[in-house]
Amino acid sequence: MKDIAKPDIATLVKLQEAETEIVRLQAVLEKVEKEKTKLASRLKQFEKALVQNREDLVRAQSACRDSEHEIQIVDDRIIKSNENLRMVKTNKEYTVLLREVDDNKKRKDALETELLEFMDEREKSQTIATESEREYELLSEQITAQQAEMEKKCSDDKELLEEYLAQQKDIGKRLDSSLMVRFRKISKMNQGSAVTSVSHAVCSGCFMNIPPQLYIEVQRGSSLISCPQCSRILYYVNID
């Protein structure tokens, strides 16, 4: 047990108070960042779905254009074949052209049926894409507003964190470097809790009993005493 001045114990207590607030504020800000990331991820998923719906619409529109173009080609063939029918000189030529016209008409009928299906698909894709865009814009506005509100609410916490970090640094300058090393090590072991009070021979950090002789030493406050169970630096508080 190393002898220590009582002012140093008081300084360690103040350092712990700053450390406690730093850990708390960092946890709050980290939670806010996670929530903001979660919201951004949700918006990204909607954006991905919107892109997919737009691509589906483009494919449906392209299918309609291709089908319409093919129908026009077949229709031109029918017109040309009909014109040729008026100029044929033999029955064989007439029969061949007539069969050609018939085949092209059947092909046109099939293409027109297919086009109706493509048009129906295009209409559905257009409805889905339009609805997706509306939902995405609405969600984007909501999430942007929520993130801005979160940022506004945690701005004070950010300022306070900077104050405590500065306070922590200032307090640390008043302590021996070996004390700071010990403080940091114990703080890391106990999630930011390196110094804790003792009352009625009970450590307030781990709530375990302190051996009688050790408790007496803590009450004297002339030595740096650590809890045998949690290793926190102990200081005495008289609570009746």
For the beta sheet containing 202-203, the strands, ordered from the edge strand earlier in sequence to the opposite edge, are: 202-203, 195-199, 233-236
Burial of 5 (0-12, 13-18, 19+ CB in 10 A): exposed
The token pair at 110 is 């099939």
Question: Could you give the 3-state DSSP secondary structure of residue 230?
Answer: coil
- Say how far apart CA 201 and CA 61 lie, in whole Å: 80
- Say how far apart CA 49 and CA 80 lie, in whole Å: 47
Return the bridge partners of 195, or none: 233
For the chain, state the CA radius of gyration: 40
- Say how far apart CA 224 and CA 174 lie, in whole Å: 16
pLDDT for residue 238? 83
Where are the domains positioned within the chain?
26-157
Question: Could you give the 3-state DSSP secondary structure of residue 88?
Answer: coil
pTM of the model: 0.67
- Say how far apart CA 198 and CA 238 lie, in whole Å: 8
Return the bridge partners of 226, or none: 233
pLDDT for residue 3? 47
- Say how far apart CA 95 and CA 194 lie, in whole Å: 103
Q: Tell me the pLDDT of the chain (240 aa) as tens digits.
A: 444 556 688 899 999 999 999 999 999 999 999 999 999 999 999 999 999 999 999 999 999 999 999 999 999 999 999 888 888 888 888 899 899 999 999 999 999 999 999 999 999 999 999 999 999 999 999 999 999 999 888 899 999 999 999 999 999 888 888 889 999 999 999 999 999 999 999 999 999 999 999 999 999 888 889 999 999 999 998 876
pLDDT for residue 240? 66
pLDDT for residue 4? 55
CATH topology of domain 26-157: Helix Hairpins (1.10.287)
DSSP letter at 18 equals H
